Amino acid sequence: AEIQVEHLDLELRPDFTAKEIRAVAELTVERRPGSPADAPLRLDNRGLQIESVTDEQGQKLRFELGRDD
Greatest C-alpha distance within the chain: 48
Q: For the stretch 21-59, what's the b/e string if a residue is b when 16 or more beta carbons lie within 10 angstroms of its beta carbon?
A: eeeeeeeeeeeeeeeeeeeeeebeeeeeeeeeeeeeeee
Residue-level pLDDT at 64 = 87
**d(Cα 63, Cα 45) in Å, to the nearest integer?**
12
| Local confidence band at 59 (pLDDT 50, 70, 90 cut-offs) | very high
pLDDT per residue as tens digits for the range 12-36 = 999 999 999 999 999 999 999 999 9
Q: Looking at residues 43-48, what average pLDDT do you find?
A: 86
Mean confidence (pLDDT) of the chain: 90
Residue-level pLDDT at 22 = 94
